[in-house]
Amino acid sequence: MTLKNKLVVSASPHDRSPRTVRSLMLDVIIALIPALIASVIFYGPRALLIECISVATCVIFEYITRIVFKRS
């Protein structure tokens, strides 16, 4: 095998940024606000109730998961 055929090893192409996961998730929440408003307009206030229940369920299961796996 010649030198040209060998695999080139280099640094992985991950994006390095001063932004945190928290700030990225805040951007996601802000981006979803128009969809939330549109769902309430098109489907009524019951859509808001379903979305609130969904978010509450996710938060509760995240809390339970952290307890089960003993993470902070």
Q: What is the DSSP letter of 5?
A: G
Q: Is 39 helix (H, G, I), strand (E, B) or coil?
A: helix
**Three-state SS annotation for 15-63:** CCCCCCHHHHHHHHHHHHHHHHHHHHHHHCHHHHHHHHHHHHHHHHHHH
Global model pTM greater than 0.85: no
Nearest alpha-carbon partner for 27 in 16, 19, 18, 36: 19
- pLDDT tens track, the chain, 72 positions: 566 667 777 777 777 778 888 999 999 999 999 999 999 999 999 999 999 999 999 999 999 999 999 886
Q: Which two tokens stand for residue 19?
A: 């932004």
